[in-house]
Amino acid sequence: MKTKVVVTGMGVISPIGNTVEEFKQSLIAGKSGIGKITLFDTTGFDVTIAGEVKNFDPSQWIDKKDARKMARFTQFAVAAAAQALKQADLLEDCPADAGLGEGRQRIKGDPNKAGVVLGNGIGGFEIVTESFRKLFDNGPKRMLPLTVPLMINNEAAGNVSMVYGLQGPAYTQVTACASGADALGQALDLIRSGRCDVVISGGAEACVTAFAIGGFQMLKALSTKRCDTPEKASRPFDADRDGFILGEGAGILVLETEEHAKARGAAILAEFAGYGGSADAYHITAPDPSGVGGGTAMKYALADAGVKPEEVQYYNAHGTSTEINDATETKMLKYAFGDHAYKLKVSSTKSMTGHCVAGGGGLEAIACILAIREGFFPPTINLENPDPACDLDYVPNKVLYGTVNVAASGNLGFGGHNGVVVFKKYK
Looking at the chain, the whole-number percentage of residues with pLDDT higher than 90 is: 90
Rounded Cα distance between 216 and 222, Å, is 6
Q: Residue 101: pLDDT above 80?
A: no
pLDDT of residue 100: 57
Phi-psi region of 205 (alpha: psi -120 to 50; beta: other; left: phi over 0): beta
368 is catalytic: no
**pLDDT mean over 331-355:** 98
**pLDDT mean over 28-35:** 98
Q: Is 404 helix (H, G, I), strand (E, B) or coil?
A: coil
Rounded Cα distance between 404 and 314, Å, is 7
Q: pLDDT, tens digit, for every residue of 155-212?
A: 999 999 999 999 999 999 999 999 999 999 999 999 999 999 999 999 999 999 999 9
Q: Residue 66: pLDDT above 60?
A: yes
**pLDDT mean over 319-327:** 96
pLDDT of residue 18: 98
Nearest to 251 by CA among 320, 180, 196: 180
Q: Residue 341: pLDDT above 80?
A: yes
Phi-psi region of 371 (alpha: psi -120 to 50; beta: other; left: phi over 0): alpha
Provide the mean pLDDT of the chain.
95
Terminal-residue alpha carbon distance, the chain: 17
Q: Residue 69: pLDDT above 90?
A: yes
pLDDT of residue 48: 98
Confidence of residue 104 (pLDDT cuts 50, 70, 90): confident
318 is catalytic: yes
- Catalytic residue, from 355, 356, 368, 390: name it: 355
Q: pLDDT, tens digit, for every residue of 282-300?
A: 999 999 999 999 999 999 9
Strand partners, 35: 50
Q: Residue 95: pLDDT above 90?
A: no
pLDDT of residue 280: 95
Q: Residue 76: pLDDT above 60?
A: yes
- Catalytic residue, from 318, 356, 368, 390: name it: 318
User: Residue 140 contacts by C-beta under 8 Å, 6 or more apart in sequence?
Assistant: none
Q: Is 191 helix (H, G, I), strand (E, B) or coil?
A: helix
pLDDT of residue 149: 86
Cβ 198 vs Cβ 142: under 8 Å: no
**pLDDT mean over 368-378:** 98
Query: Among 104-108, 295-299, 310-314, where is mean pLDDT lowest?
Result: 104-108
Query: Among 149-153, 332-336, 338-342, 413-417, where is mean pLDDT lowest?
Result: 149-153
260 is catalytic: no
